[in-house]
Amino acid sequence: MPNRIKDPVNYRLDGTEPTGKVEFEKFLQKMTDVPESEPLNSIPINEVGITNQQVYVTIDDLSDPKTKTPVLCDVSLGVDLSDHRGIHMSRCEEALFEISRGTYTDLDEFALALAERLREKQSSSLGIVKVSGIHLHHRQTKKTARSSHDKVILLSEAIASENGHIQQTGVTAFNMTACPCTRTYTKLSVIPRLKEMGFDTEQVNKILGTVLTGTHTQRGTITVMIDKKHPEISAREILKVLDQTTHLVNELLKRPDEHDLVIRALQKPQFTEDVVRDVAKGLFEKFGNLTPLNTRIIVESILNDSIHIHDVRSKITTTLGRIGDALKS
C-alpha cells in the first residue's frame, strides 16, 4: 500500500491489506486520515479553517492595565493548504484552547500566539487569525465625570509565517453625529423672521452665533484598523484618537452629560465623510512620526440614519504617507 492515497473514499482492495487485528487497525487509521491524503486536484487554497468560534481571552483592561479582564471573542482561524486534501479541524480547536488559557497584554498578543501555534500544528506555511472581542471600557463622562461602562469592540488580525508576521489592530466604537445640512438650513431659515423683528445684520449674526439651531442626529459606529508596526499602536491609543475626533457616546449620561454631548455634536456637525476624514487625520497626527509611512489604515463610518430608511457608510483605505500628502495639498 502506498504512503499516500489519492482518494481513500474510493480505495479498491488489491489483496495486500493486512488481516491481523493490530495491523488492520493501523491500516484503518491510515486510510481514514483523509485530510492527510493527496488533494483530488493540485489547486492550492489560500485559507481554510474554522470560523464563528467563541472563546474568552484574558487581557489587560483598557482603563486599568494593572487589571486583567476576560473578553468574549469571536475567532476565525485558518492556514494555507497546498499538498494535502484538507486540514485537521481538531487541531484548530486544540490550538485555540491551548492558547486561550494564557493571559495577554492585548488581543494582538493573543492573535499572534494563536497564529504561530496553528501554523505549527497544521505544518502549514501560514497561520491566519482574526479576532473580535467585546470589552466593557470604563470611561468618565465629560461633564459630570461619572463612571460609564461603554462597549467597544476590539479587533486583531495576525498572519504568522516562517519569515515573520504581519499584524493589524483595531477598534469599533459607537459615536453620534449631527447633520450639517439641516443644521445650516435651520440656522439660515430664521433670518427673514429676525429681520422682520427689527434686528440689523450685525445683531442677526450675533444671534445666529449664539443660538444653536437643531438638526437630526444619529448613532453609528466608527471602525479603525491599522498595521501594528510600533508598540504604541494599540486599542487604547486608537480610542484616544476616536474620542478627540468624533462624538463618542456613553452608556451612562446624566442630564448635564446629555446636554454636553448634544451641544458638542451641534457645534461640530459631521457627515460620515467628515468622520472618516477627521479620524484619518487624527491617526496621522498620532502615529505618523512613530511608524513607517507605508503603514496601512482602514477607517469606516456607518450611521443608522434617523430620517431615512437606509444607513450611511463611508470608508477610507490608505496609508499614513498618503494621508500626510493629502493634508499638505
Q: How far is CA 279 from CA 78, 183, 215, 287, in A?
A: 31, 22, 22, 12
Which residues lie closer than 8 Å to 290 by C-beta, 6 or more apart? 230, 232, 233
Identify any residues that bridge with 43 across adjacent strands, giving them in sequence order: none
Distance (Å, whole) CA 38 – CA 89: 17
Identify any residues that bridge with 158 across adjacent strands, giving them in sequence order: 129, 167
DSSP for residue 9: G
The whole-number pLDDT of residue 2 equals 44
Distance (Å, whole) CA 220 – CA 222: 7
Q: What is the DSSP string of 29-41?
A: HHHT-GGGSPPSS
Q: Where are the beta strands (DSSP E) in 83-125?
A: 103-104
The whole-number pLDDT of residue 33 equals 66
Collapsed DSSP state (helix, strand, coil) of residue 127: strand
C-alpha cell at 42: 493540485
The whole-number pLDDT of residue 189 equals 94
Nearest to 280 by CA among 327, 236, 247: 327
Q: How far apart are the first and last CA of the chain?
A: 70
Which residues lie closer than 8 Å to 329 by C-beta, 6 or more apart? none
CA 326 to chain CA centroid, Å, is 25
Q: Are 257 and 142 in contact (CB under 8 A)?
A: yes
Q: How far is CA 87 from CA 91, 99, 268, 295, in A?
A: 8, 19, 52, 33
Rg of the Cα atoms in the chain: 28
The whole-number pLDDT of residue 3 equals 58
Q: Are 175 and 247 in contact (CB under 8 A)?
A: yes
Per-residue pLDDT of the chain (329 residues; tens, 9 = 90+): 345 666 777 777 777 777 787 777 777 777 666 677 677 788 888 999 999 999 999 999 998 889 999 999 999 999 998 887 788 888 899 999 999 999 999 999 999 999 999 999 988 999 999 999 999 999 999 999 999 999 999 999 999 998 999 999 999 999 999 999 999 999 999 999 999 999 999 999 999 999 888 899 999 999 999 999 999 999 999 999 999 999 999 999 999 999 999 999 999 999 999 999 999 999 999 999 999 999 999 999 999 989 999 999 999 999 999 999 999 98
Which residues lie closer than 8 Å to 294 by C-beta, 6 or more apart? 319, 320, 321
Distance (Å, whole) CA 121 – CA 14: 34
Q: Are 71 and 63 in contact (CB under 8 A)?
A: no
